[in-house]
Amino acid sequence: MSVLPASALSLARGAEILRGGGLVAFPTETVYGLGGDATQGQAVARIFEAKGRPSFNPLIVHVAEVSWVAGLAETDARFAKLAEKFWPGPLTCVLKRRADCPASELVSAGLDSIAIRMPDHPVAHELLRASGRPLAAPSANASGTVSPTRAEHVAQSLGDKVDLIIDGGACRVGLESTVIDLTQDQAVILRPGVITAEEIAAVIGPLGSAEANPTTFKSPGQLASHYAPGLPLRLNAAIAKAGEAYLGFGPTADASLNLSAKADLREAAANLFAMMRALDDATRYQGIAVAPIPATGIGTAINDRLERAAAPRS
C-alpha cells in the first residue's frame, strides 16, 4: 500500500491500477471511496473482500460526466432535472440498469437497478476521467467501522488491502450522499444525506414515503435479498439431481456453469449473480444445485447471499 498526495503523477498511477483491476482509495466531497472498475467483476469482488463485508450490498457507481449515465442506466426527466440541479454533488440516483449495462452484476448485488453519482471533488473527477471507467466505490473503511474523511483513516482501516491511497486532504461534507430511488413512479429516499427531501421535492415534485412503499424501501441489509431466483436453490450439493442445473465451484466435469474452476473465491463472487440468473431458466431446469463454497474470506459473503436466495419465499 502506498499513500501519495494528489498530483498528475499519482492520478496517472491510480488510473493505471484501476484499469488493471486494482483498488484505489480517493477523496470525494462526502467521504473517501474505495474505488474499483465497476465493469470488472473481480475488481468489484476485491472491494467486498477488502472491506470484509459479510454480505453483498449494492455499491454506488461514480461517473465523471452526466453523459456516462446513458451507457449504464435508463434515464428519465426526473433524473435529468436532479442531475442538472445537484451534480456534481452528494446525491446518488438509483436507476434501472440498461439491458446491456457494462457494469458487473455484483455492483447491483443482483438487482435490476444501479446507483450512480457524480462526485464534486477535483481529485475524484480527474481519477474517473483518467481511468475512463465508471468506478464502484463504497466508503473506504472496514465493514462496521466509521467512514473515513481523511487519507490516514483509510490507511488505518484498510492498510495493505488497497493498492494506492490518493491523499486529497479532509472531505468537505463528511457524510455519505443522499440516495434516491427513481426506479418507481414515486421517487423514494433510501438514505438521507445533506441534500434533503424538501430540496429534491422542489425539483421533481412530491416524493413517495418509505412507509407507503414497503416494496420500494429496503434498508441496505434487506436489499441483498431482493433478487432471488425463480427456481428453487439447493446448497452444498456435491452433484445435481435429475432436472437440476449444477452451479459448480472448483474442478468438476459436470457443472452447467462453474463459479470458478480454479476455486478462486474472488472469481466466484464476480460470477455469482450473472450465473444464478443464467441458470434460472424454468424451460430447462426444475432447480439449481450449488456446490459447497468455503466459508472463508469473501466466501462468507457468497454463502450469505446463497442462503438468502435459497430461503423460503414469503
Which residue from 132, 94, 135 is spatially nearest to 114, judged by alpha carbons?
94
Residue 139 found at the interface with Mg ion (CB under 5 A): yes
Q: In this complex, which beta carbon is closest to ligand TXA, that of residue 94 or of residue 289?
A: 94
Calpha distance 311→268 (Å, rounded): 20
Q: What is the biggest distance separating any 2 CA atoms in the chain, rounded to whole angstroms?
A: 59
Examine residue 88 and say whether the peptide bond preceding it is cis (omega within 30 degrees of 0): yes
Query: C-alpha cell of 236?
Result: 452444498
With CB cut-offs between 5 and 8 Å by kind, which of ligand TXA, Mg ion, none does residue 168 bind? Answer: none
Find the part of the chain contacting Mg ion (CB under 5 A) among 4-12, 88-96, 136-144, 293-301. Answer: 136-144
Find the part of the chain contacting ligand TXA (CB under 6 A) among 6-14, 108-116, 264-272, 300-308. Answer: 108-116
- Please count the residues of this chain forming the interface with Mg ion, following the rule CB under 5 A: 1
Residue 176 found at the interface with ligand TXA (CB under 6 A): yes
Question: What ranges in the chain are assigned the alpha helix state H?
Answer: 8-19, 41-51, 77-86, 122-131, 151-158, 197-204, 220-223, 265-279, 299-310
Calpha distance 66→243 (Å, rounded): 46
* Binding letters toward ligand TXA, positions 124-163, x by CB under 6 A: -------------xxx------------------------
Which residue from 29, 249, 275, 1 is spatially nearest to 147, judged by alpha carbons?
29
- Out of 41, 58, 89, 299, the residue judged to bind ligand TXA by CB under 6 A: 58
With CB cut-offs between 5 and 8 Å by kind, which of ligand TXA, Mg ion, none does residue 191 bind? Answer: ligand TXA
Residue 268 found at the interface with ligand TXA (CB under 6 A): no
Residue 188 found at the interface with ligand TXA (CB under 6 A): no
Binding site for Mg ion (CB under 5 A): 139
